[in-house]
């Protein structure tokens, strides 16, 4: 634990006043759907994690209460309650009501901070109908209540011994006026909190759900080593040990700390996850570049020294080295600069050299001390290089001259008329029957249709050369225009939106899963940038007195029949498949931008998504059986 740094009202710096967060919540939390809702919890937890990073907190408790509120308790120093000199109010009130107010804008209170832009807890307050903060410090317990961001005044509610433990509890009730739903998901919070526990070894994080009497606790003394082992639970490792390294470097702003862990598996898909100050850097950045460069150079040096490259033309590429490799990289920086479309790309230029040097030095030493591990990693990379050579010819078949060149488009693709990719939509349909209806029902000015015959290859189990032998996948790659592998270019995407249009049955779900596996493994930016959607065609159509009502479930159908049709509908039609819909029905229910229902497919937690694809689509049977056993009670329907 570090020495207690100064942390009082004078350390709270205010950059600007609170703006109308309630009027434009998406500017601060991204969305007002489930993702935005859970983002509120993450912001409060990030404050507690910052206390842990500063060496003042060892336990964090997150609790979902029966009334739908959530509380976060930590045993840190407690938010300052003394009067802020500039605002003439208690510091805790300033932090809760002023945007960009916090102790994270200099390096006196926090050497490293995971709170992204310092807007966190005040935004949580603004978007909650009620919020209560309770602080234990300075020999007393203090409490303040807020109503939709408005302070109620700080009160001392108890007096304690001056040596009593300190801490903060923030409890808030998300505002139904702001959010589409206020129902918090235990599983979503569990995934993020587990990740934070891996990234901050020794910190105990618990999650309790009073609604269903459920509790999980996370504490990982092994940190990143245990993270990699967790990600590889459904995979076969090529060496027992998990390689681990840690290093630090001094810069003007403070100390940059680097941690990494990796283990090779017999999988064909690599799994590399990079974090900066506990934030998942999905778009990469300088730390990831440094890691990849050092790793590739190191494995090449080993392979050359041991004569493993004799039958290869040239050296191993980065993709060769990373095939089947599970790795986690974590960087803690005193002044991180985030950039990119989603602010999840680390931009600090000095970090590349720091990471590159640390990985080359420490992993090089590890390879010398563990020759069997080094041999396993290098041999796996050489095997991947041989397969890459075989894939070159197949890959050339999918190359496109330009994003709008339609000369080589698949014969089954009914392309749209617009030449502007930002206006274009692509519907990937299940089978020729649904494809025929979609082609007739669409608006050809901006909607394209590509029918997929049968179930495409499960790419989780095959290398790229085998994947590219599949005609349906080649058609899909060509239609999208992005290329694949080393030539993948998300900016060459021919359609702004890609819709997976499949039946609402078990076969349709399987086809959608196979398509998502391909997109996740080979075109992940398509998902990360929000281009992919699952259409939600209705299962039932109810007619009554000349009006038409669509229902997604039996319960919704029954409700419409009872409440709208007085129990006496003119007709109730069940759609067994998309092919049964005529073009007009398909347009009205699924393709018309004014009336269709869509679900955007995103990657919120890359590590959790990676593990799930491995469990559900990989070779190992036992983890899949366990998943089915654990989650069988949650199934809404089973198609037998």
Q: From 396, 424, 448, give the residue that closes a domain.
A: 396
Q: What's the pTM?
A: 0.74
Cβ proximity of 169 and 185 under 8 Å: no
Beta strands, E only, 17-114: 59-64, 70-74, 83-84, 89-90, 101-102
At residue 342, the 3 state secondary structure works out as coil
- Nearest residue to 265 via CA among 359, 384, 361: 384
Residue 331: pLDDT band by 50, 70, 90 thresholds?
Answer: very high
**What's the pLDDT score for residue 286?**
96
CATH number reported for the structural domain that contains residue 179 in this entry = 3.30.565.10
Q: From 218, 250, 269, give the residue that closes a domain.
A: 218
Please return the burial class of 16, using the count of CB atoms within 10 Å of its CB with bins 0-12, 13-18 and 19+. Answer: exposed
Give the residue with greater pLDDT, 216 vs 640.
216
**What's the pLDDT score for residue 449?**
95
Among left, alpha and beta (phi > 0; psi -120 to 50; other), residue 18 is beta
Q: Quick check: 620 pLDDT over 80?
A: no
**What's the pLDDT score for residue 105?**
43
**Of 10, 507, 556, 604, which residue is the catalytic one?**
507
Q: Quick check: 102 pLDDT over 90?
A: no
Cβ proximity of 294 and 360 under 8 Å: yes
Same domain for 181 and 258, yes or no, is no
Residue 228: enclosing H or E segment and its boundaries? Answer: helix 224-231
CATH number reported for the structural domain that contains residue 291 in this entry = 3.30.230.10
Please return the burial class of 636, using the count of CB atoms within 10 Å of its CB with bins 0-12, 13-18 and 19+. Answer: exposed
**Of 335, 469, 505, 619, which residue is the catalytic one?**
505
Q: From 218, 241, 269, give the residue that closes a domain.
A: 218
Same domain for 161 and 69, yes or no, is yes
**What's the pLDDT score for residue 16?**
43
Same domain for 207 and 229, yes or no, is no
Give the residue with greater pLDDT, 354 vs 588.
354
**What's the pLDDT score for residue 287?**
97
Asked if the structure places residue 589 within a domain, the reply is no
Flag the least confident range among 256-270, 396-410, 453-467, 517-531: 396-410
Cβ proximity of 229 and 246 under 8 Å: no
Residue 599: enclosing H or E segment and its boundaries? Answer: strand 598-600
503 is a catalytic site residue: yes
Radius of gyration of the chain from its Cα atoms, rounded to whole angstroms: 27
Asked if the structure places residue 464 within a domain, the reply is no
Asked if the structure places residue 325 within a domain, the reply is yes
Long-range contacts of 36-41 (CB under 8 A, 24+ apart): 36/179, 37/174, 37/179, 37/181, 37/182, 37/184, 38/184, 38/185, 38/188, 38/189, 38/192, 40/70, 40/123, 40/124, 40/127, 40/128, 40/172, 40/174, 41/70, 41/72, 41/184, 41/189
Same domain for 193 and 312, yes or no, is no
Mean pLDDT, rounded, for 389-415:
60
Cβ proximity of 166 and 76 under 8 Å: yes
Residue recorded with tokens 């803690």 = 332
**Of 50, 356, 425, 430, which residue is the catalytic one?**
430
At residue 172, the 3 state secondary structure works out as strand
Percent of the chain with pLDDT over 90: 51
**What's the pLDDT score for residue 13?**
47
Q: Give dist(CA 92, CA 107) in Å, integer.
A: 19
Same domain for 230 and 211, yes or no, is no
Cβ proximity of 273 and 336 under 8 Å: no
Same domain for 253 and 374, yes or no, is yes
Residue 97: pLDDT band by 50, 70, 90 thresholds?
Answer: confident
Q: Give dist(CA 338, CA 348) in Å, integer.
A: 8
- Nearest residue to 292 via CA among 276, 308, 272, 315: 272
Flag the least confident range among 173-177, 186-190, 450-454: 450-454
Same domain for 25 and 169, yes or no, is yes
Give residue 30's domain range: 9-218
Q: Give dist(CA 290, CA 286) in Å, integer.
A: 6
Using alpha carbons only, give the angle 89, 111, 29 rounded to the nearest 5 degrees: 65
**What's the pLDDT score for residue 11?**
58
**Of 503, 528, 550, 605, which residue is the catalytic one?**
503
213 is a catalytic site residue: no
Same domain for 122 and 49, yes or no, is yes
Structurally, how many domains does the chain consist of? 2
Q: Quick check: 602 pLDDT over 70?
A: yes
Same domain for 178 and 283, yes or no, is no
10 is a catalytic site residue: no
Asked if the structure places residue 575 within a domain, the reply is no
Residue 354: pLDDT band by 50, 70, 90 thresholds?
Answer: very high
Residue recorded with tokens 């479930």 = 553
- Nearest residue to 381 via CA among 291, 297, 284, 287: 297
- DSSP for 360-404 reads HHHHHHHHHH-HHHHHHHHHHHHHHHHHHHHHHHHHHTT--S-TT
Same domain for 51 and 180, yes or no, is yes
**What's the pLDDT score for residue 405?**
42
Same domain for 352 and 203, yes or no, is no
Q: Quick check: 606 pLDDT over 70?
A: no
Asked if the structure places residue 21 within a domain, the reply is yes
**What's the pLDDT score for residue 605?**
60
Cβ proximity of 448 and 421 under 8 Å: no
Mean pLDDT, rounded, for 605-634:
70
Asked if the structure places residue 121 within a domain, the reply is yes
505 is a catalytic site residue: yes
Asked if the structure places residue 349 within a domain, the reply is yes
Q: Quick check: 64 pLDDT over 80?
A: yes
Asked if the structure places residue 360 within a domain, the reply is yes
Same domain for 214 and 228, yes or no, is no
Q: Quick check: 4 pLDDT over 60?
A: no
Residue 242: pLDDT band by 50, 70, 90 thresholds?
Answer: very high
Q: Quick check: 114 pLDDT over 70?
A: no
Mean pLDDT, rounded, for 353-375:
96
């Amino acid at each position: 634990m570090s020495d207690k740094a100064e942390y009082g009202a004078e350390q709270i710096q205010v950059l600007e006043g609170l703006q109308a967060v309630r009027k434009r919540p998406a500017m601060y939390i991204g969305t007002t759907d489930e993702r935005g809702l859970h983002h509120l919890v993450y912001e409060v937890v990030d404050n507690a994690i910052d206390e842990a990073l500063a060496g003042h907190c060892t336990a964090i408790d997150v609790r979902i209460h029966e009334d739908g509120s959530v509380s976060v308790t930590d045993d840190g120093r407690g938010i300052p309650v003394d009067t802020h000199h500039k605002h003439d109010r208690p510091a805790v009130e300033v932090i809760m009501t002023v945007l960009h107010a916090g102790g994270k804008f200099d390096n006196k209170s926090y050497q490293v901070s995971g709170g992204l832009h310092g807007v966190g807890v005040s935004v949580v307050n603004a978007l909650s109908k009620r919020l209560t903060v309770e602080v234990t410090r300075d020999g007393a317990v203090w409490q303040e209540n807020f109503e939709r961001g408005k302070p109620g005044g700080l009160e001392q509610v108890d007096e304690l011994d001056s040596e009593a433990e300190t801490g903060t509890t923030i409890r808030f009730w998300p505002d139904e006026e702001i959010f589409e739903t206020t129902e918090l998901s235990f599983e979503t919070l569990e995934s993020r909190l587990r990740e934070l526990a891996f990234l901050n070894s020794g910190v105990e994080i618990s999650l309790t759900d009073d609604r269903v009497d459920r509790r999980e606790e996370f504490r990982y003394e092994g940190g990143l080593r245990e993270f990699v082992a967790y990600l590889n639970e459904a995979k076969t490792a090529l060496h027992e040990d998990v390689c681990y390294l840690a290093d630090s470097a001094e810069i003007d702003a403070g100390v940059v700390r680097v941690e990494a862990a990796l283990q090779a598996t017999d999988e064909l898909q690599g799994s590399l996850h990079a974090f900066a100050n506990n934030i998942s850097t999905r778009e990469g950045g300088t730390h990831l570049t440094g890691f990849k460069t050092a790793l590739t150079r190191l494995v090449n040096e080993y392979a050359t020294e041991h004569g493993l490259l004799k039958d290869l033309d040239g050296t191993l590429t980065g993709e060769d080295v990373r095939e089947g490799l599970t790795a986690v990289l974590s960087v803690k920086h005193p002044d991180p600069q985030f950039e990119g479309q989603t602010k999840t790309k680390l931009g600090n230029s000095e970090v590349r050299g720091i990471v590159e040097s640390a990985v080359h030095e420490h992993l090089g030493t590890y390879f010398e001390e563990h020759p069997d591990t080094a041999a396993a990693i290098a041999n796996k990379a050489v095997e991947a290089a041989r397969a890459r050579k075989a894939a070159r010819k197949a890959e050339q078949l999918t190359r496109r001259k330009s994003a709008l060149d339609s000369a080589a488009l698949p014969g089954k693709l009914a392309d749209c008329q617009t030449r502007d990719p930002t206006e274009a939509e692509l519907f990937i349909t299940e089978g020729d029957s649904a494809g025929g209806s979609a082609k007739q029902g669409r608006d050809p000015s901006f909607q394209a249709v590509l029918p997929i015959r049968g179930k495409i290859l499960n790419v989780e189990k095959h290398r790229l050369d085998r994947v590219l032998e599949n005609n349906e996948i080649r058609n899909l790659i060509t239609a999208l225009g992005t290329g694949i592998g080393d030539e993948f270019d998300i900016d060459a995407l021919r359609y702004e939106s890609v819709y997976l249009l499949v039946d609402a049955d078990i076969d349709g779900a399987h086809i959608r899963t196979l398509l998502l596996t391909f997109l996740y493994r080979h075109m992940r930016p398509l998902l990360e940038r929000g281009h992919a959607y699952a259409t939600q065609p209705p299962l039932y159509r109810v007619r009554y007195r000349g009006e038409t009502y669509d229902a997604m479930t039996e319960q919704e159908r029954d409700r419409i029949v009872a409440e709208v049709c007085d129990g006496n509908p003119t007709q109730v039609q069940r759609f067994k498949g998309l092919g049964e819909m005529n073009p007009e029905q398909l347009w009205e229910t699924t393709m018309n931008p004014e009336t269709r229902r869509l679900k955007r497919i995103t990657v919120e937690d890359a590590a959790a998504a990676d593990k799930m694809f491995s469990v559900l689509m990989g070779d190992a049977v036992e983890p899949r059986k366990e998943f089915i056993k654990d989650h069988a009670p949650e199934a809404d329907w089973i198609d037998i």
